[in-house]
Amino acid sequence: MSGRVLVTGGAGFIGSHISEAYLAAGWEVVVLDDLSRGQQRNVPSGARFVRADVRSPEARQVVAEGGFTVLNHHAAQIDVRVSVDEPALDAAINVVGLVNLLDGAGAGGVRRVVFASSGGVVYGDPEVVPTPETAPKAPISPYGVSKLAGEYYMRALAALRGFEAVAMRYANVFGPRQDPKSEAGVVSIFVSRLLENRPLTVFGNGLQTRDYVFVRDVARANVLASTAAIPAGSDIDDTAINIATGKQTNVLELAELVGKAMGQKPTVELAPARPGELFRSSLDIGKARRVLGWKPEFGFDDGLPQLVDWFRKEAR
Ligand SMILES: NC(=O)c1ccc[n+]([C@@H]2O[C@H](COP(=O)([O-])OP(=O)(O)OC[C@H]3O[C@@H](n4cnc5c(N)ncnc54)[C@H](O)[C@@H]3O)[C@@H](O)[C@H]2O)c1
């Protein structure tokens, strides 16, 4: 089943892979992005590109008048530190921008909205790891609050305006086109530093764990989430799906794995732990398996070489 989809943030890392996955599945794709971080060369050639800010009346109009089946919303302010320094900017893009588009989606008869939330931040410091969707929500940063607020706005406006809403709660996504300057992109940071023969900086003792999911798996999950029957409910968790691997890898292990993929023995420099950093993070993916019939197909062994390849060829 396919249709017409608007992918916001489609010139960025995850959104560009999602756009490709929709095109491969036979969807008609329009990308909306303001190019504040993304690059137009990331937009696949089969997609139409509109340059607009999600906060603008133009962006609302594109959603309202574009005849879209699905709005896939990945445009965002993604930097936790920016959200701490400029919480109003973060909320303006991530909350007000989303609401602007949801308003347009309601007016335009969009059937379903798929929204990039974050399982890495909405659960705060969870007691249960791997963390299920139903775990308590306790975001620590303004960015985490903006993602959780987005899920609540989706639930309210979905009910009021008659579209369906799905929140994709990602773990740490990695893969080609991830900006090594983004703090979320530790895998990209490690690859780019090893390419420059520089040591890898590890904060704290390096035993803190994360759950790394490959971007093409994330893209496939988005296409599935655009048409799968998602049981409705009254809680935000009913329409939220963790997208992850359920596996934990610590930073020292990650450094080794990246080194191995690049045929190098990395030098690791320890730096003081960063305040507020989570010690363990991994998401339970039972629901993604049940509801979407999805499970990750890539691991580090086949994902890392694709990232390294991209860096060598294109990321300069
Ligand atoms: N990368 C991860 O591990 C991760 C984890 C959880 C959630 N997410 C979410 O996934 C989404 C995509 O993240 P990414 O890692 O691909 O980041 P990215 O920065 O590569 O992509 C975001 C895109 O949004 C665009 N954008 C930013 N502000 C905009 C605005 N005001 N109007 C229009 N476009 C705007 C940027 O130009 C960029 O192309 C974000 O919503 C992010 O919060 C990412």
- Nearest atom in ligand 1 to the alpha carbon of residue 14 is 16
Exposed/middle/buried for residue 288 (C-beta within 10 Å: 0-12, 13-18, 19+): buried
Question: Position of tokens 């993916």?
Answer: 285
Which tokens go with 35? 């190019």
What pLDDT, on the 0 to 100 scale, is given for residue 262?
95
Ligand 1 lining (C-beta closer than 6 Å)? 9, 11-15, 33-38, 53-55, 74-78, 93, 97, 116, 118, 120, 170, 172-173, 184
What is the distance, to the nearest Å, from the Cα of residue 83 to the centroid of all Cα atoms in its chain?
Answer: 16
153 is catalytic: no
Phi-psi region of 148 (alpha: psi -120 to 50; beta: other; left: phi over 0): alpha
Question: What domains are there in the chain, each with its CATH number?
Answer: 4-172+213-243 (3.40.50.720), 174-211+246-282+298-313 (3.90.25.10)
Rg for the chain, CA atoms, rounded = 19
How far is Cα 13 from Cα 178, in angstroms, rounded to an integer? 5
> pLDDT tens digits, the chain, 316 residues: what are they?
789 999 999 999 999 999 999 999 999 999 999 999 999 999 999 999 999 999 999 999 999 999 999 999 999 999 999 999 999 999 999 999 999 999 999 999 999 999 999 999 999 999 999 999 999 999 999 999 999 999 999 999 999 999 999 999 999 999 999 988 877 789 999 999 999 999 999 999 999 999 999 999 999 999 999 999 998 888 999 999 999 999 999 999 999 999 999 999 999 999 999 877 888 999 999 999 999 999 999 999 999 999 999 999 986 5
What pLDDT, on the 0 to 100 scale, is given for residue 316?
58
**DSSP for 247-284?**
--EEHHHHHHHHHHHTT----EEEEPPPTT--S---B-
Å from CA of 9 to ligand 1 middle: 6
Count of CA atoms in the C-beta half-sphere (13 A) of 282: 16
Å from CA of 75 to ligand 1 middle: 5
Among 143, 153, 170, 212, the one annotated catalytic:
143
How far is Cα 58 from Cα 51, in angstroms, rounded to an integer? 10
How far is Cα 281 from Cα 249, in angstroms, rounded to an integer? 9
Which tokens go with 223? 């296409």
Question: Position of tokens 């991530």?
Answer: 94
Question: Position of tokens 């936790």?
Answer: 80
Which residue from 6, 8, 14, 214 has its CB within 8 A of the most atoms of ligand 1, so it is best to mutate? Answer: 14
Å from CA of 270 to ligand 1 middle: 29
What pLDDT, on the 0 to 100 scale, is given for residue 315?
61
What pLDDT, on the 0 to 100 scale, is given for residue 184?
72
User: Quick one: which of 205, 172, 188 has its CA closest to 274?
Assistant: 205
Q: 156: part of which helix (H) or strand (E)?
A: helix 142-161
